[in-house]
Structure formats: structure tokens, C-alpha cells
Structure 1
Amino acid sequence: MRYDAEELKKLALREGFTAAGELNLKAVVFMPEVRDMCRADKCSAYGRNWRCPPACGSIEEATERAKKYSFGMLVQTVGKMEDDFDFETIEETSKKHAASFISMMRILKGKYDDILAMGAGTCARCKQCTYPDAPCRFPEDSYSSMEAYGLWVSRVCELSSLPYNYGKQTIAFTSCYLLK
């Protein structure tokens, strides 16, 4: 199937993203070194969330799954901070990005047979994840992050000709969708 990158970019912008662009599939390289950073557990989700390592699967499984997709789209939400410690803007931008991400994921799932959506940061669909005691409550609305899969996000952006850094006192959240 052929995809219209410009139409998907317009959709992304309508859904509230600041920037969007076609994902260079050659940049989709799942790296154990990136996955290993999850073990540091700075977000307190490693081993506590269905969509984070180790529950989201191995690097090898991610690589195999991604092989079946022929097109990708990167999406970003950029926030302008008042200073380097403007945590309010960081949190607002993160929430805006997550809402836009889920909204577009739902649209794409309704339009295409199979997509792989990778968000920014851990899935926060539920206040408390059921892992490992019960199945995911919302498997259709949950997602793993690009990092959880092992993608080096700044490198993916660079190879896809989309900025990763928008300058001083900005914060950017990046996610992607892979389509068959």
C-alpha cells in the first residue's frame, strides 16, 4: 500500500502535533544499548508496566515485528519553556503530546489494518498499571515508547530530517507510527 506522507502530516498537525515528517525506515534500528538505559529505571516503570521492558518484548522481537511495516511517520510536540526549570511547561507539553498521540493512533487504527505506534515515554493510560498481576486493561490504547523498543530517538530524527532539538528552553516529545 502507498501512503501519502503529506496527508498524514496534515492529519498529525490537525491532531495537535507541532511537527511531523516521514520516518526513514533505515533509521529504525533497535539497539540493546538504548534498551539497557531502561534498566536504570529513572521513570520508575521498568518491570512495572506492560509496555516497558521486560514485558514489551525483546530487541529481537521488536526487530522482527517492525520488519513487516513499509512506511513510518514521526510526530512531535514542542513546548517553549520560560527557563530551564519550567517543569509546568514540560508536564503540559507531555500531556498534550500523549493526548494527540492516542487520538492519532485511534484514527490510524480505524483507517489501516495494522499499525505499530511507539510513544514518548512510558504508557500512562492507567494511573496504576496491572503488570504483572493482571492483563492490560486497555490493550488497544496502550503503547510502548520508542526507547523501550530500543530506538535512539535523536538519531531517528536526524536520519529522518526532522529536528530533535528546537533550541534553548524548548522541550520536544517525539513518537512514531509504522504502517504496513
Structure 2
Amino acid sequence: MREEDMIAAAEEAGFAKAAVMSTEDLEFEHEFRMFCEQNECGNYGNNYGCPPYCGTPEEMENRVMQYKKAVVFQSRTPVNNIFDDAETKQIKKIHTRMTLRTVEALRKNGLDDNGMYVMCGPCNMCEECKMPAGEPCVQEQKRFSCLSAYCIDAAKMAKHCNMDMQWNGDIVSFFSIYLYDKK
């Protein structure tokens, strides 16, 4: 599938921008894991897609680097209060669903279906993660982790893709990635 077609399909699906990049151009900052450990989002140790269950920063980077290419999706969404966790969680969920739908459509048109997702927030495939109850993950094959868990420097990725990462009082930008073309 041609890169131009992927980008056009993503923008038609409602993303503000999309770009294709080499995974070699992604930058990993393992010290970003401390943000997960601070547990500001409340998902550390409470979601199978989040640390410590998702893997170490080195393991996460190695997973990404098994692929040659990444299609990066950006949404820019109006927000009433950027600090309202409930509102931004809902926007992340919408972004995630849009990513899943877009990649599924791209797969039907020839995109590698053996790829891997990196999303903008914690795994939300289930209404409620089974981890806090000590039950096994029921979506293990579909489970995903976020850019932060992978320690991907989103600001550098956005700059490389010519995307505006600015968060201001009334617009929020979120990113997701679909990795493809396994090495």
C-alpha cells in the first residue's frame, strides 16, 4: 500500500494529520517511565497494557524496533477543560476507536495486518480492565500500550512528522501509531 494512500485515508477518516516514518527515526527516552511510575493517570499497576505489566522500557523499545515503518495518526480536538481527566479520557477513547477503524480499513486495502498498535492512552479494549480484580486479560491479542509506556518521545515524533503538538486551553492533540513491515 502506498504511503500517500494511507495518509489520505487517515485524513478522510477524520485525523488532523497522518504521516509515515521509519521506526529508526523514533526516539526513546527510557527515563520517561518515571512518569508512568508517578501514576498521575491511575493506571500504573491497574491495567495490563501499562507498566509494570507491559514490559521494561528496553523490552518495549525492542518490540517497536521489530518493525521498519510506522504510520502516525494525529487528532486535534476541541476541549472544554484540558485538565478535566474525564473529558480527555473520552477524547482518547474516541481517538483510539478512530485509529482501530482506520487501520482495519487500511488492512482491507493491503496494509500489513501483522502490525502492532501504540496508542495515546492506556488500553481500553474492555470497559473495565480485569487486572485490578486479579483476573486474566480477556483481550490479550488486542491489548495495546501507550506512547508513554513505550517511552517514545512524542514531541520529537511530532516534529519529525511535521505535526503540531501544541496543547492549549481549547485544543488537545493526541497521537497513535501503527507499526508495520516486520524486519
Measured against the shorter chain, the TM-score band is 0.7 to 0.9
CA 168–23 in structure 1, closer or farther in 2 if over 3 Å, else same: farther
Give every structure 1 segment of 4 or more consecutive aligned residues whose post-TM-superposition deviation is greater than 3 Å. 81-93, 105-111
2:50–2:145 Cα contact (<8 Å) kept? yes
How far the C-alpha of 1:20 sits from its partner, in A, is: 0.8
How far the C-alpha of 1:89 sits from its partner, in A, is: 6.3
TM-score by length of 1: 0.84
TM-score by length of 2: 0.83
Pairwise CA RMSD = 2.5
How far the C-alpha of 1:80 sits from its partner, in A, is: 2.4
Distance, in Å, in 2 between the alignment partners of 1:63 and 1:130 is: 25
Give the aligned partner of residue 58 of structure 2: 60
CA 88–121 in structure 1, closer or farther in 2 if over 3 Å, else same: closer
Give the aligned partner of residue 39 of structure 1: 37
Aligned letter for 2:139?
F
How far the C-alpha of 1:50 sits from its partner, in A, is: 0.8
Q: How many residues align?
A: 178
CA 14–41 in structure 1, closer or farther in 2 if over 3 Å, else same: same
Distance, in Å, in 1 between the alignment partners of 2:27 and 2:35 is: 16
Give the aligned partner of residue 91 of structure 2: 93
CA offsets per residue over residues 92-113 of structure 1, 9 Å max, x none? 5333212102223444566424
Aligned letter for 1:149?
Y
CA 57–80 in structure 1, closer or farther in 2 if over 3 Å, else same: same
Aligned letter for 1:122?
P
1:155 and 2:156 are equivalent in the alignment: yes
Q: Percent of pairs identical after alignment?
A: 24
Distance, in Å, in 1 between the alignment partners of 2:49 and 2:73 is: 19
How far the C-alpha of 1:179 sits from its partner, in A, is: 0.5
> Where in structure 2 are there 5+ consecutive unaligned residues?
none
1:135 and 2:136 are equivalent in the alignment: yes
1:96-107 paired onto structure 2 within 5 Å = 96-107=94-105
Distance, in Å, in 2 between the alignment partners of 1:81 and 1:141 is: 28
CA offsets per residue over residues 3-50 of structure 1, 9 Å max, x none? 521111122123332211123423323322111210011111101111
CA 84–57 in structure 1, closer or farther in 2 if over 3 Å, else same: closer
Select between 100-109 and 124-133 the one with higher mean Cα deviation: 100-109
